[in-house]
């Protein structure tokens, strides 16, 4: 799973937007579980903060997600579908 976000004002003022991307190899049950966790409804402090500062979450784009990370060089890449 990957997300991109946009804030139109200071982070603590909220009103951010998130576009989630979910790998197409996940099942509907797995996707539903991820979005329940990310909703902040289940008590995880970090997820509660995310839900507060970015209350607008768009319909997820389900596509192949490729992720590479080189820890030594502090370099990474994420590719979602054709984007």
Averaged pLDDT for residues 12-16? 89
Paired strand residues for 21:
2, 61
CA 10 to chain centre: 19
- Judge whether residue 26 has pLDDT over 80: yes
pTM: 0.75
Query: Predicted confidence band at 70 (pLDDT cuts at 50, 70, 90)?
Result: very high
Q: What is the CA radius of gyration of the chain?
A: 14
The total number of structural domains in the chain stands at: 1
Q: How high is the pLDDT of residue 68?
A: 94
Q: Which domain holds residue 40?
A: 2-80
Question: How far is 73 from 76, CA to CA, in rounded Å?
Answer: 9
- pLDDT of 11 > 90? The answer is no
């Amino acid at each position: 799973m990957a997300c991109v976000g946009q804030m139109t004002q200071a982070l603590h003022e909220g009103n951010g937007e998130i576009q989630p991307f979910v790998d197409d190899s996940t099942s509907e049950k797995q996707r539903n579980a991820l979005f329940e966790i990310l909703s902040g409804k289940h008590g995880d402090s970090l997820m509660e903060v995310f839900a507060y500062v970015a209350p607008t979450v768009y319909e997820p784009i389900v596509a192949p997600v490729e992720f590479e990370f080189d820890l030594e060089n502090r370099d990474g890449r994420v590719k979602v579908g054709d984007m």
